[in-house]
């Protein structure tokens, strides 16, 4: 597998299931992540668990809505 340190990734559906697992796996490999999902509170908890403040970004949104 390639070295992912310092790379940036976007994960939608990051507050549950495979999104959480993927976020944990990629963060452990050194990626900085923007995490999107409808559940803002769950995103904030995940971001806090993944690393130091400012490392990852929580973006509460519904990607199926243009608004």
pLDDT digits (tens, 9 = 90+) for 17-60: 999 999 999 999 999 999 999 999 999 999 999 999 999 999 99
Local structure of 32: helix, strand or coil:
strand
Of the two residues 63 and 32, the one the predictor is more confident about is 32
Among residues 46, 33, 45, 40, which one has the least CA distance to residue 7?
A: 33
Judged against a pLDDT cut of 90, whether residue 67 lies above it is answered with no
- Spatial CB neighbours of 50, under 8 Å, sequence gap ≥ 6: 23, 24, 27, 33, 56
């Amino acid at each position: 597998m390639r070295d992912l340190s310092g790379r940036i990734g976007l994960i939608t559906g990051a507050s549950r299931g495979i999104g959480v697992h993927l976020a944990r796996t990629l963060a452990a490999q050194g990626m900085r992540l923007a995490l999107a999902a409808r559940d803002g509170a769950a995103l904030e908890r995940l971001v806090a668990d993944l690393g130091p403040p400012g490392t990852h970004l929580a973006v509460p949104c519904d990607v199926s809505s243009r608004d």
